[in-house]
Each structure stands twice: as C-alpha cells, then as structure tokens.
Amino acid sequence: GLMDKNALTWTLLSGLCLAMVPETLGFSPLAVPRAAFAGCGSLAAAQFMRSTSGPRMSSAQLTSDTEVLPALKETAPLKIGLMVEPTPFTHVSGYSNRYKEMLTYLQQAGDEVEIITADDTESPPTEFLGFPIDYTSGFRFALYPVISMSVDHQLKGVKMIKRLKPDILHVTTPGFMVLVCGIYAKMFGI
C-alpha cells in the first residue's frame, strides 16, 4: 500500500543522496545486510532487494517476507557497530520506534551489537535489549533543539570499532555523524 510506496521512495532517495558520498570519501555505504529492512513493508524490501541483487522476481513472488528475506537464524550472527543520532532511547518519534524494532530483529538473529549515540538527558539508559549503549558528547542543533547531534570528537566510535571489530558499521543520522562514520569505515576497512 501507501506505506510500502513511501518506504520505497525514501529508500531510493536516500540511496541517491548517499551515492554522492563514495566519490568524496571513497567508500560504499549502500551495502544491505539481511536485517536492513526489519520493520519496513515487505513490498519495499522486496523491491529494493530485487533491484540490487539476485534473480528477478515476479510481483506474485513479492507477497511476503518469507519468500524474499532469509530467516533470521539462517545466516551466521554479525558484529554490528551502530552509531545513531538523535538517540532513539530518550527521543520519542516514529524513527525511534523503527530503530527499536530493528534492534529487536538483530537480537532475534543473535547478532552482537554495540551502540553509540549522543544524548545529554539526565540518566540515559546504558543498554537496550542487552545491547550496550555508549554516549558521545553532542550539541543541540540550533534549528531543531529537541535533538542532540555529534561529530564524535571523543572518538568513541574508534574505540568501539577497535574493541568490537564489526562486520558492519551502520549509521543513522540527519546530521554530521555520517561523515565521521564514513571516515571510520574507510580507516578500518569496514
């Protein structure tokens, strides 16, 4: 329905915007792990997967996730470094709900996940679903002061990458952290 079309539209627009990043930083941010579409509509996921890899499928084959996406335990667990802003743990929004849902799927898949985010609220959580959360200092964005953003000047991302040695470094941000994570990915060959 409409939700699937909107998800697909945003996925494609995000891909177009990110297509410019490799030219600048020399890395490819468009890798799609198995849980990338957790929580989004099956049609959007199927259409994206169909457009990026594997054999072509008819629209009749795109009716359910079980026909397109592997079972969560079908592949080996991954080590995933997540860097996200604004924090989905104290900032309430639809984005926060989707992010928490993604973490639920990663937990069900048995993946090892470490999270870094910026949050200046009093007593933010230190874990979610057993996944550790570390905080890097940030700043309130002047045009939208509800959210805290960061450039990870404390290098918490570097420390996490050295400790975890992630298979995937996933960044979710409307701001500057994407550039920092691009540099980290290039530095560590992720």
Asked if the model's pLDDT at residue 65 lies above 80, the reply is no
| pTM of the predicted structure, to 2 decimals | 0.64
Predicted local distance difference test score (pLDDT) of residue 120: 85
CA 88 to chain centre: 12
Tens of pLDDT, residues 117-159: 988 888 899 999 999 999 998 888 888 888 888 889 899 999 9
Predicted local distance difference test score (pLDDT) of residue 107: 93
pLDDT tier at 60, thresholds 50, 70, 90: low
Task: Return the DSSP state at 92.
Answer: -
* DSSP strands (E only) in 48-161: 79-84, 112-118, 127-128, 131-136, 139-141, 144-149
Residue the block writes with tokens 């969560």: 72
pLDDT tier at 53, thresholds 50, 70, 90: very low
Percentage of residues of the chain with pLDDT beyond 90: 31
Percentage of residues of the chain with pLDDT beyond 70: 63
What would the mean pLDDT of 105-114 be, rounded to a whole number? 93
Predicted local distance difference test score (pLDDT) of residue 5: 54
Predicted local distance difference test score (pLDDT) of residue 80: 95
Q: Between these two residues, 91 and 111, which has the higher pLDDT value?
A: 111
What number of CA atoms fall less than 13 Å from residue 23's CA on the CB side?
A: 5
Predicted local distance difference test score (pLDDT) of residue 4: 52
Asked if the model's pLDDT at residue 103 lies above 90, the reply is yes
